Amino acid sequence: MNNEHLLTGVRILDFTRALAGPTCTRMFAEMGAEVIKIEGAPLGDMTRQVSKLKGDRSFYHIQHNLNKKSVCVDLRTRQGMNIVRELVPLCDVVVENFRPGVMAKMGLDFDELKKLRADIIMCSISALGQTGPLSNKPGYDYIAQAYSGVTSMIGDPDEAPNIPLVGIGDVSTGVHGAFAIAAALLHRERTGKGQYLDVSLLDCYYHNHEVNVHQYSGSGGEIKPTRGGRHTSYLCPGGVYRGKGGDIMLMAFMHHWKDLCAAMEKQEFVDKNGWQTDAERIERLDEVILLVEDWLATFPDVSTAIERLEMFDVPCAPVLSVEDTLTHPHLVERGTVRTITDPLVGEFKIPGMPIKTSDYKSDSEYVAPCLGEHNVEVLKTLLDKSDEEIKVLSDAGVLQVAST
């Protein structure tokens, strides 16, 4: 399909599997780049085996591989690797997220790729990075999260930490990788040079510490950042408050406190001794919670409480469940949630492309490829292989296809 979009004209050779790598290349694909996903025969990307909600088709794989082309080759054969090597010079970028060292074993590390195309841009995405004593450990999102100190900042301070059931690290790392590649492409425009990019979940997770690292370091260790349950430790009110039938995120700190007091008709608390600043209110957090939650309990439900808070411009939100988000008018109107149509399993919903542009649709009618769906197209149009040559490779199992 390859609709015209911001990144039309870029061609990517994509060795990624699972989530972080595929997110990176999917953003390119959705923005018009040609992404040729190399999948190892016989099964391809392991995520083709999960989230099979209808028949044998993976909803997970669809979501993360929209608008890519799939070429499925047996990477354990010389002919399979030859196809890959023939494709490299035709591509601007190679992206991979194997465990460090795997690309080198396949003869496809940056030095080898440069021999095939001098100005190649290569981006390696990994859990803990390509260098350093931990780089060889098997890694998943939460492993990097634990090493980054982010896990330690989630949950009740008196309990073991909690983990978010959302792919925060993988997705964020994929986006960091996409930015790195786009920057390297701009650099190539200017200098003619390629680049190697090392992007890891650990580094990207660590990037999220907007205050914790400098506060600990800058205070000489006096401030020890710790998790705070459902409340921030530096703003008050700032956190989750229980309402009738649901929860409310309330950010009524600093100058917003007087607006909350007005909404609650508790004007006396605006200037009350010991309640005036965030620091003072944090000292009496239990009392603040009691005051606010007693007031919230006077509303029949969360949405009427939100209406009242909005009248006074108090920053607030209902804590929506995933179920709630799918039909919320704001998320639907913006395309935060989108409906896609898969040729095999039909319509379902996934997150929309988070980048909205003035000149192009953000969510075109993209589909995700079946395994090896583009074997013939890619080998014919890019590598000038004949029908006969393709038949020989297919008969030998070097090229494979599956209709899922």
**Contact (Cβ atoms closer than 8 angstroms) between residue 42 and residue 400:** yes
Q: Is 239 left (phi over 0), alpha (psi -120 to 50) or beta?
A: left
Q: Given the structure tokens 């009242």, which residue do they identify?
A: 308
In sequence order, what are the residues at sequence separation of 6 or more whose Cβ sits closer than 8 angstroms to the Cβ of residue 240?
Answer: 230, 231, 247, 248, 249, 250, 319
Q: Of 357, 381, 386, 403, which one interacts with a second copy (CB under 8 A)?
A: 357
Nearest to a second copy of 313, 377 (CB atom) = 313
**Contact (Cβ atoms closer than 8 angstroms) between residue 298 and residue 243:** no
* Residue 320 touches a second copy, criterion: CB under 8 A: yes
Whole-angstrom distance, CA of residue 112 vs CA of residue 122: 11
* Residue 96 touches a second copy, criterion: CB under 8 A: no
* Residue 341 touches a second copy, criterion: CB under 8 A: no
| Per-residue mark of binding to a second copy, 71-90 (x: CB under 8 A) | --------------------
- As measured in angstroms, the least distance from the Cβ of 402 to a second copy is 20
**Contact (Cβ atoms closer than 8 angstroms) between residue 368 and residue 66:** yes
Q: Name which of residues 3 to 42 contact a second copy (CB under 8 A).
A: 6-10, 19, 27, 31
Q: Of 2, 79, 208, 404, which one interacts with a second copy (CB under 8 A)?
A: 208
Q: Name which of residues 121 to 150 contact a second copy (CB under 8 A).
A: 128-135, 137-140, 142-150
Q: What is the DSSP string of 43-109?
A: T-SGGGGS---BTTB-HHHHHHSTT-EEEEE-TTSHHHHHHHHHHGGG-SEEEE-SSTTHHHHTT-S
In sequence order, what are the residues at sequence separation of 6 or more whose Cβ sits closer than 8 angstroms to the Cβ of residue 150?
Answer: 205, 206, 208, 209
- As measured in angstroms, the least distance from the Cβ of 56 to a second copy is 14
**Contact window for a second copy (CB under 8 A) among 66-74, 268-276, 328-336, 374-382:** 328-336
Q: Of 93, 168, 368, 371, which one interacts with a second copy (CB under 8 A)?
A: 168
- As measured in angstroms, the least distance from the Cβ of 400 to a second copy is 23
* Residue 102 touches a second copy, criterion: CB under 8 A: no
**Contact window for a second copy (CB under 8 A) among 265-273, 330-338, 373-381, 394-402:** 330-338
Q: Name which of residues 275 to 294 contact a second copy (CB under 8 A).
A: none
* Residue 1 touches a second copy, criterion: CB under 8 A: no
Nearest to a second copy of 271, 324 (CB atom) = 324
- As measured in angstroms, the least distance from the Cβ of 200 to a second copy is 8
Whole-angstrom distance, CA of residue 102 vs CA of residue 117: 20
* Residue 2 touches a second copy, criterion: CB under 8 A: no
Rounded alpha-carbon distances, angstroms, from residue 40 to 62, 176, 371, 392, 397: 17, 26, 10, 18, 11
- As measured in angstroms, the least distance from the Cβ of 237 to a second copy is 11
- Annotated catalytic residue within 14, 92, 141, 170: 170
Q: Single out the residue of 182, 42, 205, 22 nearest to residue 98, CA to CA.
A: 22
- As measured in angstroms, the least distance from the Cβ of 130 to a second copy is 8
Token readout for 288 is 């603040």
* Residue 300 touches a second copy, criterion: CB under 8 A: no
Has 119 been annotated as catalytic? no
Q: Of 86, 109, 112, 203, which one interacts with a second copy (CB under 8 A)?
A: 203
Catalytic positions, written as ranges: 170
